[in-house]
Amino acid sequence: MPDAPFRGYKSYSYLTPAQDYEVFDLDDELRRVPDYDSGLSEEEAQRAGRLLRDSVVISLHDHPVVFPRDITRVRDYIRTGRQHTGYEGLSRSGLTAVFDNMMDGTGCVTSKSAWKWDDTIYDLGMRLCDIAHQDYVRVARTVADIRDARASGRLAIVLGMEAATPIENEVDRLDILYGLGIRQIGIAYSESNALGSGLREPGDGGLTVFGRRAVERMNKLGLAIDVSHSSDRTCLDTFEVSSKPVFITHAGARSVWQTQRMKPDDVLLACARSGGVVGIEAAPHTTLSADHPLHSIESVMDHFTYCADLLGIDHVAFGPDTLYGDHVGFHAVFAAQLGVHSMTGPAFDKVPYVAGLENPTENFRNIIGWLVKHGYADADIEAVVGGNILRILEQVW
């Protein structure tokens, strides 16, 4: 693969700072926290580097934007409608493609509650405008776009949404989103919408009649479907209704950590039976484990090994769900809105960041290093860091 042709572009640098947009002191894309020591031998490090360089590496879920250094100003930052893509950090990540889920439930451009249609279009249009002014990242609308990006040493961004909430009861809005470049969409976030139940709800109504129509339209359009934040029954209903494989883009196993945010075995198995893939989550204080209750790459990989054993290696991938900035502080600001602290589960001690999986730049370097150190074959590593996702996209898109 040729060297990435990143030329130092910064988001919105085609405009005049302070005159055309409000300026924030943004956090570091590179080395915000100390480098993680994977403990690899020289031979293992060389093998891990080769696999990162030679594999199709796809993050199934991330938010690869840079947040303010003072995270308490994040709402002011979001209200400008201009999230800054971490181009430099991404250029050093080894990623072939990243599923970018933009502002989603924090998209409070004009509203305190997010999930508004106008805010979604505002966010999408602003990001597309910024991307159009540089030549390193390309928006992927087809599998060929991902392959072409890799061949030219560029990065493919797949635009996605964590929930279809903004379409309200208008199924044709899915067509509009597809036309604007969206290629992956969730059914519901933690709270229910017109399509189905979210995982925070006290009752589980599953997929609605409208939700079934929406799934059928997603299949016809070629929109990849995600049920990461949907209730258990909504997940199972979606697998049943969809004629194409479904993703759980970012979650973990409830058998490893007993919270609603994780998926029970029957949901994980049904996803695999549908032909789908489960992306393992790494956002702070999600994929903890009894063996590693201080959240780190080791906790995350406990979920990976459990899911790989349960489902088979061909049905597991990684959707780290990371960003550039203080993710723990970000959760604190949006705790009520995102339901971060409202779901019961085992007690745990908080960490300032997830060691080894803190941001999109380091994630797959350390994931591959862990897999190498733990004796996984090259073919299995290539499958879980991107090959499995690519196989599903070829069926769905």
The 10s digit of each residue's pLDDT in 116-167 is 999 999 999 999 999 999 999 999 999 999 999 999 999 999 999 999 999 9
Give the model's pLDDT for residue 31.
86
Query: In this predicted model, what pLDDT tens digit does every residue of 273-294 receive, in sequence order?
Result: 999 999 999 999 999 999 999 9
Q: Chain-wide mean pLDDT for the chain? A: 95
**What pTM did the predictor assign?**
0.96
**Integer Cα distance of 167 and 147 in angstroms:** 31
The strand pairing partners of 251, in sequence order, are: 280
Q: Can you tell me the distance from the alpha carbon of 104 to that of 62, in angstroms, rounded to the nearest whole number?
A: 12
| Domain spans, the chain | 53-396
Q: Does domain 53-396 have CATH number 3.40.190.10?
A: no
The DSSP bridge partners found for residue 279 are: 317
Q: Identify whether the C-beta of residue 12 lies closer than 8 Å to the C-beta of residue 130.
A: yes
Quick: pLDDT tens for 93-124. 999 999 999 998 899 999 888 899 999 999 99
The answer to whether 174 and 115 have CB atoms below 8 angstroms apart is: no
The full length of the chain comes to 397
- Report yes or no: 187 and 195 within 8 Å, Cβ to Cβ: yes
Whole-number Å distance between alpha carbons of 286 and 282: 7
Q: Which residues face 85 on adjacent strands?
A: 65
pLDDT computed for residue 8 by the predictor: 94
